[in-house]
Amino acid sequence: AQTVTQSQPEMSVQEAETVTLSCTYDTSESDYYLFWYKQPPSRQMILVIRQEAYKQQNATENRFSVNFQKAAKSFSLKISDSQLGDAAMYFCAYRVLPRSTLGRLYFGRGTQLTVWP
């Protein structure tokens, strides 16, 4: 079974500080992609960052970076210099590459991030 676990239902951070959101996943596949999506209140989900499992180097996108530990099946998101606009629900997701799954995404239950001024 393909599962994604986000153990932190809620997190909070002070503006300009750093916060790390946790994610673990379970798969027997070796080739897959990992994603963090952001869903602001009443707005559509947007991609924050992606990581290819075959790449050892951790992905970074401006203030967002990941810590990808393939052996541990862990994929955490670090947000540096947090801004008020970062407040949202964050979903960890992954997609396996074998064609039988046709690209569907498997999501965790999300972490609600609050940013305090």
Binding residues for another protein (CB under 8 A): 4, 33, 37, 43-47, 50, 91, 93, 97, 99, 102-110
- 93 vs 115, beta carbon nearer another protein: 93
Closest CB 14 distance from another protein, rounded Å: 26
Strands 10-14 and 111-116, sheet pairing: parallel
Contact 76, 84 (CB under 8 A): no
Coil, helix or strand for 23? coil
Closest CB 16 distance from another protein, rounded Å: 29
- 42 vs 71, beta carbon nearer another protein: 42
Closest CB 74 distance from another protein, rounded Å: 17
Is the torsion defined by CA of 2, 106, 94, 90 positive or negative? negative
Closest CB 29 distance from another protein, rounded Å: 14
Amino acid identity of residue 73, one-letter, is: K
Residue labelled with tokens 């052996």: 71
- 58 vs 105, beta carbon nearer another protein: 105
